[in-house]
């Protein structure tokens, strides 16, 4: 453990613009990676439960939000100069994102199984720091949607678990309500 902490101090962190150039040139090949805090991080493997849950969420949001937003599925989000995660679902203002990844999100959702700790800790901190007003961790292990809101000094101060039978109203669109039972 001591060696890892010594090495951590000497890591070279890259900027998002350099990461994008590397990705465009094929440096990562078929590897599924994302940029978090200047570090290139291997993403967790996905399975049918993970992917099927994303499909369900995408349909729910596209149906309820229509043209009021753009619903992005596992696409890059320009969170900061040193971070470009690929959230499972990102609800962003409507627009054409063919020239640049969105830098603002209204809601970010991570579907979590093996990535639960990372999604609750590092990703929650990242999304709060870049001002995402609402962040969901869809915990497929336990059938819970953890809704993170109320940012104070770069951290979500309210985390509310929602279970089967509960309904969630979106912060940015209070007229939109998602039933947890529709997600699982």
* Within-domain flag for 16: no
pLDDT of residue 3: 56
In whole angstroms, what is the distance from residue 55 CA to residue 132 CA?
A: 22
* Within-domain flag for 96: yes
* Within-domain flag for 8: no
* Within-domain flag for 64: yes
* Within-domain flag for 11: no
Angle in degrees, CA 95, 100, 102, rounded to 5: 55
Residue 170 sits in which domain range? 44-183
- The reported pTM is 0.91
**5-25 residue pLDDT tens:** 666 677 889 999 999 999 999
DSSP 8-state symbol, 105? -
Residue 31 pLDDT level (bands cut at 50, 70, 90): confident
The count of domains in the chain is 1
**46-79 residue pLDDT tens:** 889 999 999 999 999 999 999 999 999 999 999 9
């Amino acid at each position: 453990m001591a060696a890892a902490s010594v090495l951590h101090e000497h890591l070279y962190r890259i900027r998002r613009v350099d990461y994008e150039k590397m990705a465009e040139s094929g440096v990562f090949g078929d590897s599924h990676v994302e940029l978090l805090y200047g570090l290139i991080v291997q993403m967790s493997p996905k399975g049918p439960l993970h992917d099927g849950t994303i499909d369900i969420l995408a349909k729910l949001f596209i149906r309820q939000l229509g043209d009021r937003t753009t619903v992005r599925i596992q696409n890059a989000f320009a969170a900061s100069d040193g971070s470009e995660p690929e959230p499972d679902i990102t609800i962003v203002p409507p627009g054409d994102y063919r020239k640049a990844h969105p830098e603002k999100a209204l809601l970010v959702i991570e579907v979590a199984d093996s990535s639960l700790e990372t999604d609750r800790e590092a990703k929650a901190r990242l999304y709060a720091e870049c001002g995402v007003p609402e962040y969901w961790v869809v915990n497929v292990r336990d059938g819970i949607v953890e809704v993170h809101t109320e940012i104070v000094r770069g951290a979500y101060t309210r985390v509310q678990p929602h279970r089967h039978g509960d309904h969630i109203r979106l912060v940015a669109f209070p007229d939109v309500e998602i039933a947890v039972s529709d997600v699982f």
